[in-house]
């Protein structure tokens, strides 16, 4: 069984993503690279450990990568489907947390409300991992920047343009970029900017890492010369009633061939998936050789395995 890098002193939970310092993220990436290159070294690293997966929302990448990741580390995962009955409806969230802590060694929660994850973490004596909420998606952002570092080698000189809705993915990109010293430009329609409190927190962290954060409304200005261009769906899960309205408002923010052509010659395209070809991105961009969307999806597995090792070992 492999041991964790000595320098990695992980927090107890991954609730917002701000729990990990810049140094801890670097160590997490080092561990993820090791897990990816030599998975056989970690086959029994979490033997005898059990993970509860609580999902209020549908999932492909998140569920599969956590289940496969846990199994490949020698542990096991138990899936709790809460798509028909949200946490807190049948019994209180604190009661769920206090029961699970007696049976399993960690909780992965994919919920509508960020407060649900925070409540689980407050009442469970075991690690709680945010697998997506209405406010943050830390596992995705960590996998995204791991993918960018893998491709470009250096994040300090990298400019990432995010075009679209100031949503949970945008928030997590902000917090992660700020800790890693990247340059993040965000272009959203007016009224759809990322939350001001998250931006303020990111800017505080950016002072130490010398990261640059720009909030813009012009997608062309954000993409110009960028090494990576990122977008996400215009209406997230739970916002289906707004989809038609958002389609009109966000139309100028589509990442199409003309917009992508403004990026650096070696620029890559990123998307957390699932994608709607013809809406936030054209098929010509997402299916091009410069798209890293499936590398991102693969790296969810390796980065989440590193998270599990860090928090459950």
Q: Is residue 272 among the annotated active site residues?
A: yes
Return the SS3 of 229.
strand
Q: Is residue 110 among the annotated active site residues?
A: yes
Looking at the fold, whether 292 and 304 belong to one and the same domain comes out as no
Q: Say if residues 159 and 226 touch (Cβ distance below 8 Å).
A: yes
Looking at the fold, whether 106 and 229 belong to one and the same domain comes out as no
CATH number at residue 91: 3.40.50.1370
Q: Could you tell me which residue, 236 or 229, shows the higher pLDDT?
A: 229
User: In the predicted model, what is the mean pLDDT of residues 164-171?
Assistant: 98
Looking at the fold, whether 157 and 128 belong to one and the same domain comes out as no
Q: Which entry of 82, 114, 134, 140 is annotated as an active-site residue?
A: 140
Q: Does any domain span residue 33?
A: yes
Q: Does any domain span residue 68?
A: yes
Q: Which domain holds residue 32?
A: 22-136+299-312
Looking at the fold, whether 103 and 216 belong to one and the same domain comes out as no
Looking at the fold, whether 127 and 36 belong to one and the same domain comes out as yes
Looking at the fold, whether 240 and 308 belong to one and the same domain comes out as no
Q: Quick one: which of 154, 136, 108 has its CA closest to 305? A: 108
Say how far apart CA 209 and CA 161 lie, in whole Å.
Answer: 18
Confidence of residue 183 (pLDDT cuts 50, 70, 90): very high
Q: What is the pLDDT of residue 84?
A: 66
Q: Which residues, other chains included, contact 95 with Cβ-Cβ below 8 Å and sequence gap of 6+?
A: none
Q: Does any domain span residue 12?
A: no
Q: Is residue 300 among the annotated active site residues?
A: yes
Q: Is residue 114 among the annotated active site residues?
A: no
Q: Does any domain span residue 70?
A: yes
- Please give the model's pTM, rounded to 2 decimal places: 0.95
Looking at the fold, whether 239 and 283 belong to one and the same domain comes out as yes
User: In the predicted model, what is the mean pLDDT of residues 188-199?
Assistant: 98
Q: Does any domain span residue 15?
A: no
Q: Does any domain span residue 84?
A: yes
Q: Is residue 232 among the annotated active site residues?
A: yes
Q: Which entry of 82, 105, 271, 300 is annotated as an active-site residue?
A: 300
pLDDT digits over 52-72, tens only?
999 999 999 999 999 999 999
Q: Does any domain span residue 90?
A: yes
Looking at the fold, whether 36 and 129 belong to one and the same domain comes out as yes
Q: Which residues, other chains included, contact 220 with Cβ-Cβ below 8 Å and sequence gap of 6+?
A: 259, 262
What total number of domains does the chain contain? 2
36-44 long-range contacts, CB within 8 A, separation 24+: 36/299, 36/302, 38/2, 39/72, 41/1, 41/2, 42/1, 42/2, 42/72, 42/73, 42/305, 42/309, 43/72, 43/73, 43/74, 44/1, 44/73, 44/74
Q: Is residue 151 among the annotated active site residues?
A: no
Q: Does any domain span residue 11?
A: no
Say how far apart CA 106 and CA 126 lie, in whole Å.
Answer: 5
Tokens for 238? 């739970």
Q: Which entry of 137, 185, 246, 271 is annotated as an active-site residue?
A: 137
Q: Which entry of 110, 171, 179, 302 is annotated as an active-site residue?
A: 110
Looking at the fold, whether 304 and 289 belong to one and the same domain comes out as no
Looking at the fold, whether 125 and 199 belong to one and the same domain comes out as no
Looking at the fold, whether 49 and 161 belong to one and the same domain comes out as no
Looking at the fold, whether 280 and 304 belong to one and the same domain comes out as no
Instruction: Report whether pLDDT(5) > 90.
Output: no
Q: Which entry of 232, 246, 296, 302 is annotated as an active-site residue?
A: 232
pLDDT digits over 110-160, tens only?
999 999 999 999 999 999 999 999 999 999 999 999 999 999 999 988 999
């Amino acid at each position: 069984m492999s041991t964790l890098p000595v320098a990695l002193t992980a927090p107890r939970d991954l609730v917002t993503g701000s729990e990990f310092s810049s140094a801890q993220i670097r160590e997490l990436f080092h561990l993820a690279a090791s897990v990816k290159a030599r998975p056989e070294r970690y086959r029994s690293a979490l033997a005898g450990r059990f993970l509860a997966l609580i999902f209020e929302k549908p999932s492909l990448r998140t569920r599969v990568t956590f289940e496969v990741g846990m199994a490949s580390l020698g542990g096991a995962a138990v899936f709790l489907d809460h798509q028909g009955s949200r946490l807190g409806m049948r019994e209180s969230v604190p009661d769920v947390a206090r029961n699970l802590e007696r049976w399993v060694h960690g909780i992965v929660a994919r919920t509508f409300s960020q407060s649900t994850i925070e409540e689980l973490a407050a009442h469970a004596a075991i690690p709680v991992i945010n697998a997506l909420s209405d406010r943050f998606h830390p596992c995705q952002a960590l996998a995204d920047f791991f993918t960018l570092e893998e491709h470009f080698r250096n994040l300090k000189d990298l400019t990432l343009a995010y075009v679209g809705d100031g949503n949970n993915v945008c928030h997590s990109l902000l917090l992660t970029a700020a800790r890693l010293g990247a340059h993040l430009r965000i272009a959203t329609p007016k009224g759809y900017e990322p939350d001001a409190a998250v931006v303020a927190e990111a800017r505080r962290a950016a002072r130490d890492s010398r990261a640059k954060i720009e909030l813009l409304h012009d997608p062309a200005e954000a993409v110009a010369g960028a090494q990576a261009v990122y977008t996400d769906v215009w209406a997230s899960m739970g916002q289906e009633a707004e989809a038609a309205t958002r389609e009109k408002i966000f139309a100028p923010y589509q990442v199409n061939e003309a917009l992508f052509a403004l990026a650096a010659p070696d620029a890559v395209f990123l998307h957390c998936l699932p994608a709607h070809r013809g809406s936030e991105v054209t098929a010509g961009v997402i299916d091009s050789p410069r798209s890293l969307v499936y590398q991102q999806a693969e790296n969810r597995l390796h980065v989440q395995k590193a998270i599990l090792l860090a928090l459950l070992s």
